[in-house]
Amino acid sequence: MMAATIRLQPEDFNASEEAARLTRGRTDIGAVVTFTGVCRDHEGGRGVSAMTLEHYPGMAEEEIARHVAEAEARWPLLGVTVIHRYGRMTPGDNIVLVVTASAHRQAAFEAASFLMDYLKTQAPFWKLEERPGGHDWVAAKDSDDAAAARWGKS
């Protein structure tokens, strides 16, 4: 059975510690892929001073768990960790962590990419970007939808 951890939290995370926790004592894991999304100071050519992420508690965890289960059905995964922060973050702060573990690298890479594509497009999060002089709710991007579409339906 695959070990899966899904957490939504306002606190920061340590990617190295989370990857170590997922693999501790496991000798069947041959590949670990980690992806960390970080708040940057610009978006679309405009400066960003902070970002606030809101989510629908309960629903967000269920949606992420559904996609983790789909990743497990598609690839021979031995473990997955997804941590997504919410609340106000400033440039340089961690936002999201995806860790995938498998016996082989291709499965770990593909599953991590799949999960990030779906987190960007399907997880119920709303992003408010603060800029000098105002703030805007961020709309979905066609490029994110196109990335997720490449996986098709299972």
Q: Cα–Cα distance between 78 and 49 in angstroms, integer?
A: 38
| 62: amino acid identity, one letter | E
pLDDT score for 154: 44
Question: Which of 9-13, 123-127, 141-145 has the highest average model confidence (pLDDT)?
Answer: 9-13
Q: What share of the chain is helix, strand, coil (3-state, %, to 5)?
A: 30, 35, 30
Digit-coded pLDDT (tens) for 29-53:
999 999 999 999 887 667 889 999 9
What share of the chain has pLDDT > 70, as a percent? 91
What share of the chain has pLDDT > 90, as a percent? 69
What CATH homologous superfamily does 3-149 map to?
Answer: Molybdopterin biosynthesis MoaE subunit (3.90.1170.40)
**pTM above 0.75?**
yes
* 145: confidence class by pLDDT, cuts 50, 70, 90: low
Q: Which two tokens stand for residue 62?
A: 């269920």
Digit-coded pLDDT (tens) for 101-142:
999 999 999 999 999 998 888 888 999 999 888 888 877 666
